[in-house]
Amino acid sequence: MRGLTVALPKGRLFERSLQLVEASGLRFHAARSDSRRLMFADERSGSRMILVKPVDVVTYVEHGAADVGIVGEDVLHESGVDVLEPLTLPFGQCRIVVAGTPEQRNANLRLMTNLRVATKYPRLTRDHFARRGLSAELIALSGSVELGPAIGLADLLVDVVDTGRTLRDNGLVEIETILRCAACVIVNRASQVIKSESVNQWLAQMQVASGQ
């Protein structure tokens, strides 16, 4: 298992991801003590880890700057990148939902004219509403999506939720679930061929480490 470049996401998935990578046999101890560095080496295996924003993990892996990575399935499916997804991990569970006011829970969306939907997931939102045969104007937001329906910017929102508390605190309810997600391992297609022995060995150890 030599010479792999592993991309890990900053933020809420980082600690669990690093624990699992270390349980698989790679060692990047300095990642916990040096908050400014973005690249760490495991001298024993000749491997390295890069630490990037979750949305960038998929880009680094797709273009081969990283051989493998860990990312949330919400980010993966929204990106539409061409990578392999060989392993789902037992953490990072969440879901992408359509939400709105309590009055809209049982509303017939087909009767809502000029439907506007605020979201950080335009690709998944567009595909979902298209499958349902609904036309909607998408309003792309990068944060605080719950404000959209609250102040009249949008009728509905599509966002990722865990416990749903933020929705409830803003007077909103879940209307339907689009996608259930967890953290997952992704692999660059060329790396799976060129570095097949190292990649497959690492994947096998990750599977054992994750209890699957």
Instruction: Supply the pLDDT for residue 1.
Output: 61
How far apart CA 44 and CA 113 sit, in angstroms, is: 62
Which residues, at least 6 apart from 6, have a Cβ–Cβ distance to it below 8 Å?
Answer: 21, 26, 47, 48, 49, 50, 66, 67, 68, 69, 70
| CATH of 94-181 among 3.90.1150.10, 3.20.20.70, 3.40.190.10, 3.30.70.20 | 3.40.190.10
Instruction: Supply the pLDDT for residue 105.
Output: 83
Instruction: Supply the pLDDT for residue 64.
Output: 97
What does pTM read for this prediction? 0.91
What's 176's DSSP letter? E
Do 100 and 174 touch, CB atoms closer than 8 A? no
In this chain, the answer to whether the domains covering 5-92+182-209 and 94-181 adopt an identical fold is: yes
For the chain, domain boundaries: 5-92+182-209, 94-181
Closest CA to 174 of 116, 119, 98, 93: 98
Helix residue spans in 24-108 (DSSP H): 30-33, 54-62, 73-79
Closest CA to 199 of 9, 23, 24: 24
Give the model confidence (pLDDT) of 154-210 as tens digits.
999 999 998 888 999 999 999 999 999 999 999 999 999 999 999 999 999 999 999
Burial of 94-122, coded b for 16+ CB within 10 Å and e otherwise, reads bbbbbbbbeebeeeebeebeebbbbbbbe
Residue segments in the chain with a per-residue pLDDT below the cut of 50: none
Instruction: Supply the pLDDT for residue 6.
Output: 97
Instruction: Supply the pLDDT for residue 155.
Output: 92
Instruction: Supply the pLDDT for residue 35.
Output: 67
Residues belonging to the chain: 212
| CATH of 5-92+182-209 among 3.40.190.10, 3.30.830.10, 2.30.40.10, 3.40.640.10 | 3.40.190.10
